Amino acid sequence: MSEKILITGGSGFIGSQAVRTLLSLGYQVFNLDKLTYASSKESLSHLESDFYTFYKGDIFDEEIVSNLINKINPDFILNFAAESHVDRSIENADDFLNTNIIGTYNLLKYALNYYSKLSSSKKSKFKFIHISTDEVFGSLNSNEEAFIEDSNYRPNSPYSASKASSDMIVRSWIKTYQFPAIITHSSNNYGPWQFPEKLIPKSVISALNEEPIAIYGDGSNIRDWIYVEDNVDAIIALMRSGVVGHSYNIGGNCEISNLEIIKKICKILDEIKPRSSGKYEDLIVFVEDRPGHDFRYALNIDKIFESINWVPKTSIDNGLKESIEWMIINYSWLMERNKDNRRLGLKKM
The three state secondary structure string of 180-229 is CEEEEEECEEECCCCCCCCHHHHHHHHHHCCCCEEEECCCCCEEEEEEHH
Q: Determine phi and psi for 146, rounding to 5 degrees.
A: -60, 155
The SS3 of residue 296 is: strand
Alpha-helical runs (H) found in 92-143: 94-96, 104-116, 120-125
Strands 255-257 and 222-227: antiparallel
Concerning whether 281 is annotated as a catalytic residue, the answer is: no
What is the rounded CA–CA span in Å between residue 80 and residue 59? 11
Confidence at residue 69, expressed as pLDDT on a 0 to 100 scale:
98
CB atoms within 10 A of CB 73: 11
What is the rounded CA–CA span in Å between residue 125 and residue 215? 46
Given the residues 58, 134, 224, 294, select the one marked as catalytic. 134
pLDDT above 70 (res 37): yes
Confidence at residue 41, expressed as pLDDT on a 0 to 100 scale:
84
More confidently predicted of 40 and 127: 127
Q: Which domains does the chain have, with CATH numbers?
A: 4-190+224-254+292-314 (3.40.50.720)
Confidence of residue 48 (pLDDT cuts 50, 70, 90): confident
What is the rounded CA–CA span in Å between residue 171 and residue 183? 8
Mean pLDDT of 38-64: 91
Confidence at residue 343, expressed as pLDDT on a 0 to 100 scale:
47
Given the residues 33, 135, 167, 233, select the one marked as catalytic. 135
CB < 8 Å & 24+ apart, contacts of 330-335:
330/192, 331/208, 333/42, 334/196, 334/201, 334/204, 334/205, 335/205
The mean predicted confidence, pLDDT, of the chain is 94
What is the rounded CA–CA span in Å between residue 29 and residue 8? 10
More confidently predicted of 77 and 84: 77
Concerning whether 135 is annotated as a catalytic residue, the answer is: yes
Confidence at residue 340, expressed as pLDDT on a 0 to 100 scale:
61
What is the rounded CA–CA span in Å between residue 106 and residue 302? 32
What are the pLDDT digits (tens) for 107-130?
A: 999 999 999 999 999 999 999 999
Given the residues 27, 105, 114, 159, select the one marked as catalytic. 159
Mean pLDDT of 299-323: 98
What are the pLDDT digits (tens) for 246-293?
A: 999 999 999 999 999 999 999 999 999 999 999 999 999 999 998 889
What is the rounded CA–CA span in Å between residue 210 and residue 277? 11
- Look up the pTM and report it: 0.94
